[in-house]
């Protein structure tokens, strides 16, 4: 499972560590961020101690109105052994009571000059990306007309060769052989290449080629949302393949279902063109234009008219 520590936030956002530096290895397990306004007022019944705590001008201004015993009590309850860290925004001064409480249990107190709202948004986006569910799939990811197409199939079926032909036709390679996929922002699947094999394609008989060097920076992209799966399989004479395209198959990646097309492979079939047309047809379907359904409707009308003439 992916994890983020307080030290990762310090490095990523250039945070200043005020106290509790020994707790910088504490793990942040959720992307939710808490602004403990109710806790400043003394209500700790539902205190989300395992969340990252963010203190802004509102919380600290109210804190200054409290008596000294109340300040100590609030900060001691705020700093627990489960609290991954506390961040103060706007470059505000940390209350002495907070520093004392953090030193007792080793909670890292960090400070940023960024405004509270903007900092909360940046922290949430970063944590969601880092803590998102992820998986690795054997396949090729290509950006075709803005559609992220994941090519899968048995080893040697022609995935990389098809991707190379698509790149030559002006489309962009994201990843070859292994695709790292994260489920971000709900059900959005984002695929990227492992750092070791970025921009590289393996072509049997030719070896490893650098797509960006051969075709330019416009032939690659670092990541892409995965919207469609095309599975390549060797032609099976005994299998019945879909010839209309009315019934759509799906595949589950992590917790998200995406459409799946199965394309049989045999000599003489131009896979790059077929995959390209499949992506364009998928795009048309999302715009409400379904050629297969329109054909089916026309066929039904013709049959109905024929039945009426018979009567």
Q: What is the reported pLDDT for 130?
A: 87
For 48, counting Cβ atoms within 10 Å of its Cβ (0-12 exposed, 13-18 middle, 19+ buried), the class is middle
pTM above 0.85, yes or no: no
Question: Which of 131, 163, 187 is where one domain is finished?
Answer: 131
CA dihedral (37, 38, 39, 43) in degrees, to 10, reads 170
CA dihedral (96, 98, 100, 103) in degrees, to 10, reads -140
Range of lowest pLDDT (3-7, 33-37, 183-187):
183-187
What is the rounded distance in angstroms from the CA atom of residue 148 to the CA atom of residue 221?
11
Task: Tell me the CATH number at 72.
Answer: 3.40.1390.20
What is the rounded distance in angstroms from the CA atom of residue 161 to the CA atom of residue 29?
41
Same domain, 188 and 54: no
Annotated ligand binding at 34? The verdict is no
Annotated ligand binding at 156? The verdict is yes
Range of the domain at 226: 133-295
For residues 279 and 144, the answer to whether their CB atoms sit within 8 Å is: yes
For 174, counting Cβ atoms within 10 Å of its Cβ (0-12 exposed, 13-18 middle, 19+ buried), the class is buried
Annotated ligand binding at 120? The verdict is no
Whose tokens are 């395209």? That residue is: 245
In the predicted model, is pLDDT for residue 292 greater than 60? Answer: no
The answer to whether residue 78 is domain-embedded is yes
Backbone angles phi, psi at 215, to 5 degrees: -115, -5
Annotated ligand binding at 154? The verdict is yes
Same domain, 221 and 249: yes
The answer to whether residue 168 is domain-embedded is yes
Annotated ligand binding at 170? The verdict is no
Task: Tell me the CATH number at 140.
Answer: 3.40.50.300
The answer to whether residue 213 is domain-embedded is yes
DSSP 145-206: TTEEEEEEESTTSSHHHHHHHHHHTT-EEEESSEEEEEEETTTEEEEE--GGGTTEEEETTT
Count of alpha carbons within 13 angstroms of residue 122, beta-carbon side: 15
Residues identified as active-site? 138, 159, 177, 243
The pLDDT tens digits for 170-195 are 999 999 999 999 988 778 899 999 99
Annotated ligand binding at 157? The verdict is yes
The pLDDT tens digits for 54-69 are 999 999 999 999 999 9
What is the rounded distance in angstroms from the CA atom of residue 88 to the CA atom of residue 261?
50
The answer to whether residue 308 is domain-embedded is no
Same domain, 120 and 142: no
In the predicted model, is pLDDT for residue 237 greater than 80? Answer: no
Same domain, 38 and 125: yes
> Quick one: tokens of 222?
């670092």
Partners of 148 in beta bridges: 143
Same domain, 9 and 95: yes
The answer to whether residue 150 is domain-embedded is yes
Helix (H, G, I), strand (E, B) or coil at 85: coil
Same domain, 195 and 289: yes
Same domain, 125 and 155: no
Number of compact structural domains in the chain:
2
Same domain, 171 and 223: yes
Annotated ligand binding at 273? The verdict is no
The answer to whether residue 303 is domain-embedded is no
The answer to whether residue 125 is domain-embedded is yes
Same domain, 190 and 117: no
Instruction: Mark residue 210 as left, alpha or beta (left: phi above 0; alpha: psi -120 to 50; beta: remaining).
Output: beta
């Amino acid at each position: 499972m992916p994890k983020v520590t307080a030290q990762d936030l310090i490095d990523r956002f250039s945070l200043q560590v005020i106290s509790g530096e020994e707790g910088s290895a504490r793990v942040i397990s959720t992307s939710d961020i808490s602004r403990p306004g109710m806790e400043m007022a003394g209500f700790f019944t539902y205190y989300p101690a395992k969340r990252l705590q963010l203190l802004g001008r509102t919380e600290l201004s109210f804190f200054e109105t409290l008596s000294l015993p109340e300040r100590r009590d609030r900060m001691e309850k705020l700093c627990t052994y489960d609290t991954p860290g506390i961040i103060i925004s706007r470059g505000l001064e940390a209350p002495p009571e907070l520093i004392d409480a953090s030193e007792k249990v080793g909670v890292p107190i960090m400070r940023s000059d960024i405004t509270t709202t903007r900092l909360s948004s940046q922290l949430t986006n970063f944590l969601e990306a880092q803590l998102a569910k992820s998986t690795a799939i054997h396949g090729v990811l290509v950006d075709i007309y803005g559609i992220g197409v994941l090519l899968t199939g048995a080893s040697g079926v022609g995935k990389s060769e098809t991707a190379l032909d698509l790149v030559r036709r002006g489309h962009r390679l994201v990843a070859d052989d292994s695709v790292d996929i994260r489920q971000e922002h709900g059900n959005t699947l984002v695929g990227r290449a492992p750092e070791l094999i970025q921009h590289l394609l393996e072509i049997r008989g030719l070896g490893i080629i650098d797509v960006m060097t051969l075709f330019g920076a416009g032939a690659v992209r670092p990541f892409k949302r995965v919207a469609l799966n095309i599975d390549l399989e060797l032609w099976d004479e005994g299998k019945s393949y879909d010839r209309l395209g009315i019934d759509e198959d799906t595949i589950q990646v992590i917790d998200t279902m995406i459409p799946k097309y199965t394309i049989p492979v045999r000599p003489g079939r131009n896979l790059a063109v077929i995959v390209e047309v499949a992506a364009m047809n998928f795009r048309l379907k999302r715009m409400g234009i379904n050629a297969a359904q329109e054909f089916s409707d026309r066929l039904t009308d013709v049959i109905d008219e024929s039945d009426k003439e018979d009567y």
